[in-house]
Amino acid sequence: MLVERPRPPKVLLVEDHPLVVRGLIGLLRDELAGCEIAQVATAEEAIRAIDAGEVDVVLVDLHLPGTRGLEVIRHAVSSPKPPASIVISVETGTEHVVEALRAGARGYVSKGSDPEHIGKAIRSALRGARYLSPDLAAKVAEYVVAPRSDPEPRHRLTERETLVARRLAQGERVSDIARELGLSTKTVSTYRTRALDKLGLRTNAELVRYAMNHPL
């Protein structure tokens, strides 16, 4: 009996610095034999590539021409077949890592890490797990256990609640969101209710006003 081998992943690299691109492509070919690599330089190009489908993993820098890499991550999460997003960045502040994870990133690797961690991050993401390079994992662990005041209400939302709340704030209807995400309207309505409760809001109109001052 023949056992079908998993196909090599299709990776979208979102990076605008040529030297970094060359180095990352070589690294990916070493770490992930046979992987298919596409490269774009802007968030707009990345979003079009994600919408075209056939992407398993998105490697994205936080700083891109015109907009932030977080927008690429959020778009990937909201896609019908969401690819796993992994941040590769020089930004190593805890706030950047936590913000990326909350946006939906499956991993975060600092550009100063050993090259092997990019391969580890991709393999972990493809298994549905999260991965942080060791230098960042320790920082995030300290952040998690450090005493602090209650977080902003929006930071208490789950990924799905945040996604639904963001789309509602943009004027989308529950039925449209359900169709795009492949969920039932009842499930989306449940996410809506939970999000409004956590934010202390009652209506979509209040949610729109909230989102204007507190980006979701």
Q: What is the pLDDT of residues 127-158, one digit of tens each?
A: 989 999 988 988 888 777 765 555 677 777 88
Residue 2 belongs to some domain of the structure: no
- 215 C-beta neighbours (distance < 10 Å), count: 9
Residue type for 65, please? P
Per-residue pLDDT at 198: 86
End of a domain among 101, 129, 145?
A: 145
Number of domains in the chain: 2
pLDDT at 2: 45
SS3 assignment, position 46: helix
Which residues in the chain land under pLDDT 70?
1-6, 66, 146-151
Examine residue 5 and state whether it is found in any structural domain, yes or no: no
Query: Is 65 inside a domain boundary?
Result: yes
Residue 128's domain spans which residues? 10-145
Angle between helices 159-169 and 185-199 (to 10 degrees): 90
Q: Are residues 16 and 100 in the same domain?
A: yes
CA-based nearest residue to 108, from 121, 123, 120:
121
CATH label of the domain that carries residue 181: 1.10.10.10
Residues 180 and 98 in one domain: no
